[in-house]
Amino acid sequence: MIDYLLTHPFIGALVALVSLALIFGAILGFAAVQFKVEGDPIVDQLDNLLPQTQCGQCSYPGCRPYAEAIANGDAINKCPPGGQATINAIADLLDVEAPTLDEEHGEESEVKTVAYIREDECIGCTKCIQACPMDAILGAAKQMHTVIADECTGCDLCVEPCPVDCIDMLPIETTLGDWHWQPPKLPQQQFENIIATDKQAVEDGAAA
């Protein structure tokens, strides 16, 4: 046998290659089974990154369905409430280039909002209750409704169904509790008006 192989180097090489392939295949297979990573399934991780507004602006009925869609290859830039930050985070997770937000699905709004029902206009039709994905509206038929501001995600799905248009999306105001400093201008950003800043300082001084 060995002699035969030695005399036919081509066949010998073939045999060697095939057996090597088999051995390594076995090792790899074993490793795959043995060291299987039981991590979060990707959908959970994606769902974790999405803002859970459940607004449906991505055209899916909620954040989790969109997470599933992303996992199946949908674009990652369809979530306006999450905005660029969310897109970046997802891009980070999936290791892809971060695109900008797809304007088709809406624009990222600067301020967070919360629904507010003008209570004396509310006729108690319960339409908004049915629309709210968060169960954040409290009320019963013929009773004035109200929004649990803490649970409202600002998805504005309740605005549309209201027959008397008594729901407003109000910007969330900063309070003493959540106020914090804004970052100062970065050196790069002061370029255009560096002289202006100087001037400003002088003016400030003059005014003061």
Partner 1 sequence: MTKIWSIPGGVHPEENKSQSLQLPLGEISLAEELVYPLNQHIGAPATAIVEVGEQVLAGQKIAEAKGMISASIHASTSGTITAIEDRTLPHPSGMSGECIVLTPDGKDSFAKFETCENYLALDHDQLVAKIREAGITGMGGAGFPTAVKLSPRANNPIDTLIINGTECEPYITADDTLMQTQADDIIKGTQLLAHMLGNPQRVVIGIEDNKPDAIKAVTAAAAGTAIEVVSFPTKYPSGGEKQLIQILTGKEVPSGQLPASIGIVLQNVGTTVAAYEAVRFGKPLIERITTVVGEALQTQRNIKVRLGTPINHVLAEHGFLPKNASRLIMGGPMMGFALENENVPVVKATNCILAPGKKEMAPPAPAQACIRCGMCAEACPASLLPQQMYWYAQAEDYEKLEAHNIKDCIECGACSFVCPSNIPLVQHYRAAKGTMRQQAIEKEKSDRSRLRFEFRQERIAKAEAEKEAKRVTRKKAAEAAKKKIEAQKASGETPAAGNDLVANAIASAKQTQASPEEQQAKLERAVSGAEGRIEKLQQRLSETEADDQKAKLTAQIKQAEVKLQDAKTKLANFSPTANDSNATATNSNTDANDPVAAAIARAQAKMTMAPDEKLRSNLESLNKRLQKAQDKLAAAKADNADTVDALQSGVDKLKEKIATTEKELAQLPTPVAEPPAPETTDAATAAIERAKAKAAAQASMSPEDKLRNQLTAMSTRIEKAQSKLVSAKADNADTVDALQMGLDKMFAKQQTLRDELRQLNPNAPELNDANVKAESDNNSAKNEQESSETPAPVKEPDAATAAIEKAKAKAAAQASMSPEEKLRDQVASLEKRLEKAQQRLSKAEAEDDENIDAFRAGVEKTRSKLEQTRAQLEES
Partner 2 sequence: MAFMKISSPHATRSGNTGDVMKQVILACLPGLLALSYFFGPGSLMNVMLASATAVACEAAILKLRNRPIGFYLQDYSAVVTGVLLGLALPPYCPWWVVVVGTASAIILAKHLYGGMGYNPFNPAMVGYVILLISFPVEMTQWAAPLPALEEGQSLMSFSGALQQIWLGIPIDGYTGATPLDLFKQNDTLLVNDFYQAESLFATGHFAGAGWEWVNIGFLLGGLYLLWRNIFTWHAPISMLATMFVLSALFYDGGSSNSAGSPLLHLFSGATMLGAFFIATDPVSSAVSTKGRLIYGAGIGALVFLIRAWGNYPDAIAFAVLLMNFAAPFIDYYTLPRTYGHSNSRRATEKSE
Q: Does the footprint of partner 2 cover residue 39 (CB under 8 A)?
A: no
- The residues pairing with 167 across neighbouring beta strands, listed in sequence order, are 117
Per-position x/- string for 16-35, each x denoting binding to partner 1 as judged by CB under 8 A, each - no binding: --------------------
CB of 91 to partner 2, least distance (A): 15
Q: Which is nearer to partner 2, 8 or 185 (CB)?
A: 185
Using CA atoms, how far apart are residues 46 and 65, in angstroms rounded to an integer?
Answer: 10
111 in Cβ contact with 125 (< 8 Å):
no
**Residue 92 CB contacts under 8 Å (≥ 6 apart), including other chains:** 98
Among 33, 181, 186, 206, binds partner 2 (CB under 8 A): 181
Q: Does the footprint of partner 2 cover residue 195 (CB under 8 A)?
A: yes
Q: Hey, what are 71's tokens? A: 């996992």
* Segment lying near partner 2 (by CB under 8 A), choices 33-41, 62-70, 160-168, 189-197: 189-197
CB of 94 to partner 2, least distance (A): 16
* Segment lying near partner 1 (by CB under 8 A), choices 32-40, 69-77, 157-165, 184-192: 184-192
Q: Does the footprint of partner 1 cover residue 100 (CB under 8 A)?
A: no
146 in Cβ contact with 207 (< 8 Å):
no
> CB pairs under 8 A, 24+ apart, for 8-16?
none
Q: Does the footprint of partner 2 cover residue 179 (CB under 8 A)?
A: no
**Residue 203 CB contacts under 8 Å (≥ 6 apart), including other chains:** none
Q: Which is nearer to partner 2, 26 or 195 (CB)?
A: 195
- Three-state DSSP class for residue 138: strand
